[in-house]
């Protein structure tokens, strides 16, 4: 049985949602915004009113994109604006490209080809899918025939504008059948639709009014669903130095922290809400490289560990194995005293108790991530044996430990990096090693311009990598196991 639905935007400024619902319309598709990140001025009011009334909610975004990159960015803008209502959006997020979109494209001297419009639509849909939503697109008969390669859009939910009410297009998610609907609680004309709930490759077993995304969980929730969340988070965070969660069904402070840790490592919105995007990440296979990333990032968040240079630097070895290779401590200095961490041999001004025993230099830090986080037995044995537990800053040295040499940075595109890849350079005056963690992020132990703590998980990986393209001895290696 089809469900009655309205679609609304700022053009419907005042809506009585209870009257809309009593008139038989139990679903709504709300415009979140348009173009380059412009939120619909009524979006917040509309979606909060619809939530309060208990309606099923979908989203649409009106496009002014004329390149694939703009289409992707519109998807990212949309995902950002609707994020606070993630667990309330139970229907797809639709891309809306119409006449004004075509005119804007032409105004910018871009030819509105079938190829380009299809690619822009795919870029938007893939961006919202990556954010954890079901993607879809809006079209009419003209666009179906003249502006889209429909075969390439089969995997997205279809919202078809077909105004012949005798012809219900039941093989789509929604059919908009009139732009002159009269609905109680909404003044003037409004778009009205039938919702059939058909999502390609996902056949709904329930009426469209109850089609939902995976339930979201947040702090304060309890029950079997939370136990499942805790199990997934423990799996996703495997390799960290952080304690495992108790799988007790209580979404408390500790569960909130571990969900946020996972979100930060996987580069999705860090809000503590375990919704579709978090579930998608948590259900992924946890590779050895991902375990190494988890370990390195968790160490970077532990303020008792830091980078060390200078008179008492821990240049090699592994603090977790209790093996130091730096200079011996002076007799008058006691274990646990602040160590010299600045390149000039001075202590941090704040006087924090960073100790010699808990310092890392750059390459031993990444080496330890794979030894401890990924659980590489041979690398771990090297750490425990003491001595200089570093591979050095040459790719051949890393290859001996099971790393594949991908190539010189000058020959590798940043987009081809994979999370866990190790990037290094060597020069006559020194060198450096760091780990790529995905997106634009990297983790490293470094002095540089850092202040406490100087083991950091931070953005700027692309800029750093492009800088390395100018070095003759800069390489990328990848863990093969």
Least confident residue range of 103-107, 246-250, 313-317, 394-398: 313-317
Q: Is the peptide bond before 91 cis (omega within 30 degrees of 0)?
A: no
Helices 114-130, 68-82: inter-axial angle, 10-degree rounding: 30
Specify the higher pLDDT residue, 245 or 393.
Answer: 245
User: Which pLDDT belongs to residue 157?
Assistant: 94
Span of 28-37, 166-175, 404-413 with lowest mean pLDDT: 166-175
In this predicted structure, what is the pLDDT of residue 122?
97
Note the pLDDT of residue 360. Answer: 80
Euclidean distance between CA atoms 81 and 77, whole angstroms: 6
Q: Categorize the per-residue pLDDT at 187 as very low, low, confident or very high, splitting at 50, 70 and 90.
A: very high
Q: 404 vs 353, which has greater pLDDT?
A: 404
Q: What is the mean pLDDT of residues 436-465?
A: 82
CA angle 9, 2, 164 (to 5 degrees): 70
Q: Span 461-476, mean pLDDT?
A: 94
Average pLDDT over residues 169-179: 90
Predicted TM-score (pTM) of the model is 0.58
Say which residue, 344 or 218, is predicted with more confidence. 218
What's the mean pLDDT when you consider all of the chain? 86
| pLDDT score, position 481 | 82
Dig out the tokens for 118 from the structure. Answer: 């299809």
Which pLDDT does position 343 carry in this prediction?
41
Domain boundaries along the sequence of the chain: 3-210, 224-286, 296-479
pLDDT confidence of 39, banded at 50, 70, 90? Answer: very high
Q: Region 249-262: what's the mean pLDDT? A: 96
Confidence label for 394 from pLDDT (cuts 50, 70 and 90): confident
Residue pLDDT, tens place only, 360-381: 878 889 999 999 999 999 999 9
CATH architecture, domain 3-210: Alpha-Beta Barrel (3.20)
What is the per-residue burial (b if ≥16 Cβ within 10 Å, else e) of 260-299?
Answer: ebbbbbbebbebbbbbbbbbbbbeeeebbbbbbbbbbbbb
Cα dihedral 215, 220, 222, 226 in deg (nearest 10): 50
Assess whether pLDDT exceeds 80 at residue 168: no
pLDDT band at 106 (very low <50, low <70, confident <90, very high): very high
* pLDDT given at position 316: 62
What is the C-alpha separation between 252 and 410, in angstroms, rounded? 47
Residue of 121 and 358 predicted with greater confidence: 121
Residue 191, pLDDT score: 96
pLDDT at residue 342 in the model:
44
What is the band of 331 on the pLDDT scale with cuts at 50, 70, 90?
very low
> Quick one: average pLDDT of 79-91?
91
């Amino acid at each position: 049985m089809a469900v009655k639905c309205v679609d609304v935007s700022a053009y419907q400024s005042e809506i009585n949602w209870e009257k809309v619902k009593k008139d038989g319309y139990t679903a709504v598709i709300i415009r979140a915004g348009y173009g380059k990140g412009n939120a619909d001025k009524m979006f917040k009011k509309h979606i909060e009113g619809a939530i309060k009334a208990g309606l099923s909610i979908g989203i649409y975004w009106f496009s002014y994109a004329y390149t694939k990159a703009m289409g992707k960015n519109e998807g990212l803008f949309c995902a950002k604006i609707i994020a606070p209502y993630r667990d309330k959006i139970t229907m797809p997020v639709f891309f809306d490209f119409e006449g004004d979109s075509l005119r804007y494209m032409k105004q910018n001297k871009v030819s509105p080809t079938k190829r380009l419009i299809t690619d822009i639509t795919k870029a938007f849909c893939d961006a919202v899918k990556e954010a954890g939503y079901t993607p879809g697109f809006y079209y009419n008969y003209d666009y179906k025939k003249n502006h889209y390669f429909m075969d390439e859009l089969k995997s997205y939910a279809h919202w078809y504008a077909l105004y012949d009410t005798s012809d219900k297009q039941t093989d789509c998610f929604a059919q908009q059948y009139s732009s002159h609907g009269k609905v109680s609680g909404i003044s003037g004309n409004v778009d009205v639709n039938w919702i059939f709930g058909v999502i390609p490759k996902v056949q709904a077993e329930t009426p469209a009014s109850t089609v939902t995304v995976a339930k979201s969980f947040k702090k304060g929730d309890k029950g079997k669903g939370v136990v499942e969340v805790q199990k997934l988070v423990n799996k996703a965070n495997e390799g960290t130095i952080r304690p495992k969660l108790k799988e007790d069904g209580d979404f408390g402070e500790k569960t909130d922290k571990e969900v946020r840790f996972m979100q930060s490592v996987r580069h999705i919105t860090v809000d503590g809400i375990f919704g579709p995007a978090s579930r998608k990440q948590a259900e992924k296979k946890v590779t050895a490289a991902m375990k190494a990333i988890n370990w390195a990032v968790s160490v970077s968040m532990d303020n008792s560990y830091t980078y060390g240079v200078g008179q008492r630097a821990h240049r090699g070895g592994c603090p977790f194995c209790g093996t130091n290779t730096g200079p011996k401590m002076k007799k008058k200095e006691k274990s646990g005293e602040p160590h010299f961490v600045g390149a000039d041999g001075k202590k941090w001004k704040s006087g924090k108790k960073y100790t010699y025993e808990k310092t890392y230099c750059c390459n031993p830090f990444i080496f330890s991530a794979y030894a401890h986080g990924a659980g590489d037995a041979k690398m771990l044995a090297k750490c425990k044996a003491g001595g200089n537990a570093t591979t050095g800053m040459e790719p051949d040295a890393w290859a001996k430990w099971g790393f594949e040499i991908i190539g010189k940075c000058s020959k590798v595109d940043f987009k081809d990096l994979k999370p866990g890849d190790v990037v290094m350079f060597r020069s006559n005056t020194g060198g450096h090693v760091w780990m790529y963690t995905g997106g634009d992020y990297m983790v490293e132990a470094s002095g540089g311009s850092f202040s406490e703590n100087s083991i950091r998980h931070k953005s700027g990986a692309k800029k750093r990598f492009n800088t390395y393209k100018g070095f003759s001895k800069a390489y990328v290696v990848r863990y093969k196991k």
